[in-house]
Amino acid sequence: MNISVIIPALNEAAEIKGAIQGATDAGGAGRARVEVIVADGGSVDDTIEAALSMGATVVESPPGRGLQMDRASSIATGDVLLFLHADTRLPPGWYESVSRCLEDAGVVGGAFNLAIDSPKRWFRMVEWVVRARSRWFGLMYGDQAIFARRKIFFKLGGYKGLPLMEDVDLIRRLKRQGKVVCIDEGVITSVRRWAGLSPFQVGFKNWLFLALYFMGVSPRRLYNWYYGRSIN
């Protein structure tokens, strides 16, 4: 099974090498069966140079995570597409874990559990909430390294270029096609998204925007509210 790891990036020179290294350290049969594609959204730092130095393929795209991942998917050759945030690291043995899940023909995709790179105890509670959310409600976010069978992904129209909630939208559509699983191992994600905020503040914001999305507010408008700027 060949797996394409797709990493959307924008000014991620400090993180991109670690993400690529974790993806290529697939181990076993995965060593020769993993390609890494970085989808750059217009970085003005050394992101592209750093990615190329690690042997990744780089494609350029207008900014917007959904657009970037769709652009990279269009050139990917893997049987499976795995979408990895630049500040997230895949666990050792990730290739075998994904491959085992997909031995079940009824499984169309999935994601990993989440581990946060911080020793603070309150982040263990955040991890528990993510685990419960994934298991009980089937809600998996992009920082959990979502993966999908290539044919199913394209059948569904990919991420449809959505600027926000692209991960929730894809998981919802995948679940209509078959089983979506959550792998027990956790990817390790940077604590930077919580910088200056408590986990409760971040959690409230995420649940608020999730509720607005389910109420029908467009992802483009949600992006404008979430980031305080418009997307072109």
Q: What per-residue confidence (pLDDT) applies to 181?
A: 95
* Bridge pairing between strands 179-189 and 80-83: unpaired
Residue type, 58: V
Q: What per-residue confidence (pLDDT) applies to 139?
A: 87
Determine phi and psi for 161, rounding to 5 degrees. Answer: 65, 20
* Bridge pairing between strands 147-149 and 3-9: unpaired
Q: What per-residue confidence (pLDDT) applies to 202?
A: 73
pLDDT value at 68 more than 70: yes
15 CB contacts (<8 Å, ≥6 apart)? 86, 87, 190
**Average pLDDT of the segment spanning 175-191:** 94
List the domain boundaries for the chain.
Answer: 3-191
pLDDT value at 75 more than 90: yes
pLDDT digits (tens, 9 = 90+) for 92-120: 999 999 999 999 999 999 999 999 998 98
Tell me which fold the domain 3-191 belongs to.
Answer: Spore Coat Polysaccharide Biosynthesis Protein SpsA; Chain A (3.90.550)
Lowest mean pLDDT among 11-25, 97-111, 120-134: 120-134
Choose between 226 and 64: higher pLDDT: 64
**Distance (Å, rounded) from C-alpha 162 to C-alpha 188?**
25
The full DSSP string for 3-32 is: EEEEEEESS-TTTHHHHHHHHH---GGGGG
Q: What per-residue confidence (pLDDT) applies to 185?
A: 92
DSSP one-letter code for 192: G
- What percent of the chain has pLDDT above 90? 65
Long-range own/partner contacts, residues 135-138 (CB < 8 A, 24 or more apart): 135/182, 138/171, 138/175, 138/180
E strand intervals along 61-144? 80-83, 88-89, 107-116
Q: What per-residue confidence (pLDDT) applies to 210?
A: 81
pTM of the full predicted structure?
Answer: 0.92
